[in-house]
């Protein structure tokens, strides 16, 4: 009698245990199949390629992260808090970061959406909020992954905090310029 297929929950739970216990290098189809007492082909049938397994593990792990930031503060403080919280959650999961790639952009979308709510509440248009959220997410994730990949080279927390502060300061200045720039006059407006 054929063995019933494994649930994706069982597969990803086992994969996350391996990631925690053995690190990113231990997350192979063969090792996962051994832990689940199934064949490699069963896993390939369930999750697809090894790359698809890794992308699924990253998505699952990220969905389980508890990330809280100061959403009630003014947008500048909230954005700094948001970046710090995302970075902290990623630093707590270095093996997860070792698996992440540009293909995993979508895993932060829900978290970025929470920042967009704050930005729009404080007067940014939806398109401006998306641009700001995208930039801050990119910088936060990229710097964190780089710091984990090469510890001791650029991972001074002050570098990250300064980068984020400068970005937010620049965004605030650009916003102020747009708000303070006089409306463009047409010939019919001139006295």
Q: Residue 38 sits in which domain range? A: 8-63
What distance, in Å, lies between the first and last C-alpha atoms of the chain? 91
CATH label of the domain that carries residue 102? 1.10.357
pLDDT in the model for residue 179 = 67
Residues 6+ apart with CB under 8 A from 33: 39, 40, 42, 43
What's the whole-number mean pLDDT along residues 58-67?
84
Q: Are 90 and 141 in contact (CB under 8 A)?
A: yes
Number of domains in the chain: 2
Whether pLDDT at 149 is above 70: yes
Does residue 88 sit within a domain?
Answer: yes
Residues 71 and 138 in one domain: yes
Residues 94 and 45 in one domain: no
Does residue 189 sit within a domain?
Answer: no
Q: Measuring CA to CA, how many Å separate 82 from each of 16, 46, 116, 118?
A: 25, 35, 11, 10
Spatial distance between the Cα atoms of 44 and 30, rounded to a whole number of angstroms: 10
pTM, two decimal places:
0.80
pLDDT in tens, 17-36: 999 899 888 989 999 999 99
Q: Are 86 and 108 in contact (CB under 8 A)?
A: yes
CATH label of the domain that carries residue 51? 1.10.10.60
* Residue of higher predicted confidence among 102 and 52: 52
Whether pLDDT at 102 is above 90: no
**Hey, what are 118's tokens?**
């704050």
pLDDT in the model for residue 30 = 92
Residues 86 and 140 in one domain: yes
């Amino acid at each position: 009698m054929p063995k019933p297929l494994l649930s994706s929950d069982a597969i990803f739970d086992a994969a996350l245990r391996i990631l925690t216990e053995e690190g990113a290098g231990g997350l192979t189809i063969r090792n996962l199949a051994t832990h689940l007492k199934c064949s490699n082909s069963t896993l390939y049938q369930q999750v697809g390629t090894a790359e698809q397994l890794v992308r699924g593990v990253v998505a699952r792990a990220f969905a389980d992260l508890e990330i809280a930031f100061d959403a009630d503060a003014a947008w500048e403080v909230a954005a700094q808090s948001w970046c710090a919280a995302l970075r902290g959650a990623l630093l707590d999961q270095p093996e997860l970061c070792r698996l992440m790639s540009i293909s995993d952009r979508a895993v932060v979308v829900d978290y970025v959406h929470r920042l967009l709510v704050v930005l729009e509440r404080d007067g940014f248009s939806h398109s401006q909020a998306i641009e700001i959220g995208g930039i801050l997410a990119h910088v936060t994730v990229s710097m964190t992954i780089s710091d984990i990949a090469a510890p001791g080279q650029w991972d001074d927390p002050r570098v990250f905090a300064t980068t984020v502060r400068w970005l937010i300061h620049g965004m605030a200045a650009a916003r102020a310029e747009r708000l303070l720039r006089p409306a463009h006059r047409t010939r019919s407006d001139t006295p």
